Chain A
Amino acid sequence: MIGRTETTILISIMLLAGSLGAGVVPETQVDNEPDPRIEIVPVDSAHSSSIPASLSALSAKIPPGAFLLVNHTGTPITAVDVRWHYPADDGELKRSAITCDAYAFAPLDPIVRANGSSLRTPYECTKEELFPRLATGGILGSPLAPAGKPLAVAPQTTIHIYLDSVIFGDGLISGPDKLQYYLQIQDRYLAVKSFVAEVAAGRGAGEDLPTILARVLGDARSKTDAGSSKSSQRRAYYAGLLQRSPSPEGTLEQLRQQVAPPTFSHIGGSR
């Protein structure tokens, strides 16, 4: 005689097997392999032999489109810009994106180590040393859970991965780089230098730090009403960052320590 629990488990297994057999789980397709030194391994059943055990154990929680970015070079990866395209369950073709960047704060902490790997999902980037901790993630800031609804990929469809750019620590850029993310890295560095100089000038004129930050923030926000001034947005961000910081002088010193990004160039001169 089969008890209620066993019956429930049996039915669940049959439903799950039926779902998998019918292709309910969306397939993952890599649309571009920008460089043979980089490997993109979708986290799905077709690539289970290449997935670390710590991730395989979580496969049911890992969202569609997740992949391992494997760096086969001796140079760390410092920024990655990824897009996903998929048919949603409402019939529309939708897009998701993530950008992970090590250049924003000193000291530079690569996002994929030399000869290392990293998990990319539509929600987060996670270095391999954190894989064993993925089971306990936050709502936002976890590669397993989005801020809002998870990606509603239509069943029996394919989610496409498009890797626009992979930036290495030596400045080489791999990928089509249609979005030119490296320009944002360069602009942000200039914004940091400008902000640090602005603070120094304010102090030179006798202002204290809270006064300078309030002034810069007010001025920057007054120029962002059209939402189009990236430099004003960055001024506002750094002023706000120091206001939020538990140690504004420590954060200011970190900004002072910012080193210039390398000279960027595309592998093979592809642009």
Chain B
Amino acid sequence: MLLFVFIAVASLPSKVQTNYQFSYFVCDPTSCEEEGPAETTGYVLVSPNSDCTGGAIDGINKDIKISLDKCSTAYIPYAYIQKTSTEYYDDDTCTYYWVDYAAFNGEVFTSGGVVVYHLDTSYGCDGSESGPVTFGNKPC
């Protein structure tokens, strides 16, 4: 019996891979998406507050601000944050675990809907970062 218990314990993974997920996520001022009016100078801002599990980082508490500065014509700034989750497999512990990400995105539109600029940066609750990637050019 004692031998059986020893074998059973020894065959268990030495540690269990933790998840890196949001335990709390709220955006300011009112939502995770902010669209500005058509303007030549101005900005939109989204500020999330979050807590992450797993212990890699406390949370993702950054801002995204898309600004226009004395443009010759009016543009519409847009900022938004999207949460995603990805499941990974850890070879060491032979277990699956989840990582939550927050993608910080921004766009600048003309009033006719033409996109002139897009920005994308992603942060993970495991402390990872990717980007930024920018498409097009800021007009001003």
Contacts and interface: CB of A to CB of B under 8 A. Distances in A.
Contacts of B61: 148
B130 to A, nearest CB: 7
Contact of B132 (A111, A123, A245, A249): A123
Given A102-B135, A227-B84, A252-B113, 9 more contacts: A98-B132, A99-B133, A124-B132, A139-B65, A140-B104, A141-B65, A147-B62, A246-B38, A254-B114
22 contacts: A97-B130, A97-B131, A98-B131, A98-B133, A99-B133, A104-B118, A105-B136, A133-B70, A139-B64, A140-B64, A140-B66, A141-B65, A147-B62, A147-B104, A148-B62, A224-B84, A244-B78, A246-B38, A247-B111, A250-B112, A251-B109, A253-B113
Contact of A139 (B45, B60, B80): B45
A100 interface: yes
Contacts, number: 132
A199 B62 CA distance: 35
B80 A244 contact: yes
Interface of B: 33, 35, 38, 43, 45, 60-67, 69-70, 76, 78-80, 84-87, 104, 106-107, 109-119, 121, 123, 129-138, 140
Closest 9 CB pairs of A and B: A250-B113, A247-B113, A104-B135, A138-B67, A227-B86, A139-B65, A148-B62, A138-B65, A251-B113
A230 B86 CA distance: 13
A18 interface: no
